[in-house]
């Protein structure tokens, strides 16, 4: 029995962006079901397409992407490699360059001074993991928040849950003072940039965001599972990096709102869409003693009475502050206008101007990982190989097919937003669908009784999720 097409098996990433184009023209025909059979009977062309996928080569592409430095502005080699593979497989591929505002880490430090006056440095680094050959590379990035403000903050700190507006409002009702304090915030619930914005708007002078194993479901060390790389549990020192752009206000390059960020364009100020207080991410191993130091101080979880407040660390999750316990947060960032490179490729249609776009982002915060987006990037390469097999039969697409490998997505949907701004009129007129493939599952092909059996399978290395 043959399972449904690979394309419908791909998972849309939470960090992906659905392009919001102009209102569709009414002359387009509504989408109708092809047939009611399940599993569907594949046509000759569909069979060629399906049989062209090979997990062995998918593994090769995934391994390549997992060993490249693809941080936005540093990933031109992987961009060109992608364009070359797509071109070899019959697409007209090219690098699509924009010059965008980015920030890079120069110095990040965090220390705690306990009530007895002793000072202790908090580890911010992800140590090399035995068996993971990319974790010890010198060109890997330190832990940081993209677009975070530079600065030094020394103050008592308050645990504010997930840092939502409702969390802050509830603490205000309880009389908690945020002015001049550092906010200790748990990941989850809302985008990290908005967590920092909420802390800033309520008077905090710094923000620290940690990942809590309470959000990892069953697969935790506390439940007896081994940590990565020996098991499925999150490594205690893993850190979730990411952007602190106020994404709901301005996706894309914040210095070029609403227009493509070509070299030499007029630049807008970013003060209203990027944080004005420093922030850094930390691991749950680093967060645990900071949370425990708040035990017995401030308000208890029962008093706060907010959902998703307590986590799975050995602490009471009290609000604090703890008298005499202070943090010193130092964050130094380099801000620059830097080139980024989308890869765009097309197959032209035979008899229509309608366009389908298939894409995923290529950039990552770290070297390694085979989930988001490296598995999706590997599938796009394999997809061009499969389409090439179709082209060799004389097949031509009825609609234009555009493939897109986006750069700088992790900073705030930057590469894709710039491309859409650059092509908005054409997309408004012709685009009918966008399929995003940031994360692709393992593919197992199971044969129909009347079709050739295909037994190629592979296991992707588990994504350590250190970049998320």
Would you say residue 467 has pLDDT above 80? no
37 is catalytic: no
Per-residue pLDDT tens for 309-328? Answer: 999 999 999 999 999 999 99
Among 409, 410, 418, 421, which one carries the catalytic annotation? 409
- For residue 131, pLDDT over 90 is answered with no
- Cβ–Cβ < 8 Å for 306, 60: no
For residue 200, which of 160, 240, 229 has the smallest C-alpha distance? 160
Burial of 151 (C-beta count, 10 Å sphere; 0-12/13-18/19+): middle
| Burial class of residue 66 (count of CB atoms within 10 Å of its CB; 0-12, 13-18, 19+) | buried
Mean predicted confidence (pLDDT) in 92-118: 97
Crossing angle of helices 165-173/192-201, nearest 10°?
A: 30
Q: What is the mean pLDDT of the chain?
A: 87
Digit-coded pLDDT (tens) for 37-79: 777 788 899 999 999 999 999 999 999 999 999 999 999 999 9
Here the tokens at position 248 are 């709901």
- The answer to whether the CB of 289 falls within 8 A of the CB of 126 is no
pLDDT value at residue 370: 80
What pLDDT is recorded for position 136?
86
Considering the chain, what percentage of its residues have pLDDT values greater than 90? 77
Q: Which two tokens stand for residue 139?
A: 């060109």
Q: For the chain, how many residues are written?
A: 468
Give the tens place of pLDDT for each residue, 4-20.
Answer: 232 222 223 333 333 33
Q: Among 125-134, 156-165, 271-280, which is the least confidently predicted range?
A: 125-134
Residue 194: Cβ within 10 Å count:
20
Task: Give the separation between CA 160 and CA 210, rounded to whole angstroms.
Answer: 12
- CATH 3.40.630.10 maps onto the chain at 6-100+338-436
- Give the side-chain half-sphere CA count within 13 A for 191: 19
More confident position, 1 or 99: 99
Q: CATH 3.50.30.30 in the chain, residues? A: 101-335
Residue 26, pLDDT above cutoff 70: no
Residue 452's pLDDT band, with cuts at 50, 70 and 90, is: very low
30 pLDDT band, cuts 50/70/90, is low
* Distance set, CA 335 to CA 69, 103, 179 (Å): 19, 4, 27
Res 38: pLDDT: 79
Query: 101-335: which CATH number, 3.40.50.720, 3.50.30.30, 3.30.200.20, 3.40.980.10?
Result: 3.50.30.30
The half-sphere exposure of 384 on its side-chain side, counting CA atoms within 13 A, is 27
- pLDDT tens readout for residues 363-413: 999 998 888 999 999 999 999 999 999 999 999 999 999 999 999 999 999
Mean pLDDT of 250-269: 96
Which pLDDT value is given to residue 449? 29
Cα-based distances in Å from 45 to 42, 412, 443, 444:
8, 38, 19, 20
In percent, how much of the chain has pLDDT > 70?
86
Residue 105 has pLDDT above 50, yes or no: yes
Which CATH architecture group holds 6-100+338-436? 3-Layer(aba) Sandwich (3.40)
Predicted confidence (pLDDT) per residue in 195-248, tens digit:
999 999 999 999 999 999 999 999 999 999 999 989 999 999 999 999 999 998
User: Reduced to 3 states, what is the DSSP secondary structure of residue 71?
Assistant: coil
CA 42 to CA 52: how far, in whole Å?
14
pLDDT at 1: 29
**pLDDT of amino acid 93:** 96
- Predicted confidence at residue 44, as pLDDT, reads 92
Span 399-448, pLDDT tens digits? 999 999 999 999 999 999 999 999 999 999 999 999 999 988 654 443 33
């Amino acid at each position: 029995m043959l399972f449904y097409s690979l394309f419908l098996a791909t998972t849309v990433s939470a960090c992906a962006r659905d392009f919001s184009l102009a209102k569709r023209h009414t002359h387009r025909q509504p989408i109708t079901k092809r047939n009611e059979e399940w599993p569907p009977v594949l046509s000759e062309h569909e069979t060629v397409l399906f049989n062209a996928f090979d997990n062995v080569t998918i593994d090769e592409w995934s391994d390549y992407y997992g060993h490249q430095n693809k941080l936005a502005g540093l990933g031109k080699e992987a961009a060109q490699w992608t364009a070359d593979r797509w071109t070899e497989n019959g697409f007209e591929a090219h690098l699509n360059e924009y010059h965008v505002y980015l920030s890079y880490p120069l110095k990040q430090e965090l220390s705690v001074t306990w009530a007895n006056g002793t000072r202790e440095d908090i580890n911010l680094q992800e140590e090399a993991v035995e068996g993971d050959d990319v974790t010890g590379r010198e060109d890997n990035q330190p832990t940081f928040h993209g677009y975070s403000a530079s600065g030094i903050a020394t103050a008592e700190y308050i645990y504010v849950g997930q840092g939502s507006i409702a969390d802050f409002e509830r603490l205000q009702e309880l009389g908690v003072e945020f002015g001049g304090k550092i906010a200790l915030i748990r990941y989850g619930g809302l985008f990290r940039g908005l967590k920092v914005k909420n802390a800033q708007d309520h008077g905090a002078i710094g923000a620290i965001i940690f990942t809590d194993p309470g959000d990892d479901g069953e697969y935790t060390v506390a439940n007896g599972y081994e940590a990565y790389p020996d098991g499925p549990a999150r490594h205690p020192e893993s850190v979730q990096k990411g952007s602190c752009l106020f994404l709901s206000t301005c996706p894309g390059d914040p210095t070029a709102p609403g227009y493509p960020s070509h070299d030499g364009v007029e630049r807008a100020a970013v003060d209203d869409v990027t944080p004005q207080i420093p922030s850094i991410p930390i691991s749950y191993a680093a967060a645990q003693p900071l949370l425990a130091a708040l035990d017995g101080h401030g308000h208890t979880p029962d008093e706060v009475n907010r959902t998703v407040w307590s986590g799975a660390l050995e602490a009471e999750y009290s609000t604090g502050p703890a008298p005499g316990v202070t943090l010193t947060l130092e964050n130094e960032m380099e801000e620059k206008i830097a080139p980024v490179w989308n890869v765009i490729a097309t197959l032209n249609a035979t008899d229509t101007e309608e366009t389908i776009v298939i894409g995923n982002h290529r950039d990552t915060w770290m070297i390694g990982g085979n989930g988001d987006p490296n598995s999706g990037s590997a599938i796009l390469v394999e997809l061009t190989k499969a389409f090439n097999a179709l082209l060799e039969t004389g097949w031509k697409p009825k609609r234009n097919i555009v493939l897109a490998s986006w750069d700088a997505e992790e900073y705030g949907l930057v590469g894709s937003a710039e491309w859409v701004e650059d092509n908005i009129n054409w997309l408004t007129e012709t685009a009918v669908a966008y399929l995003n493939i940031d994360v692709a599952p393992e593919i197992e092909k199971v044969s129909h009784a009347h079709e050739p059996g295909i037994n190629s399978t592979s296991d992707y290395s588990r994504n350590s999720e250190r970049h998320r």
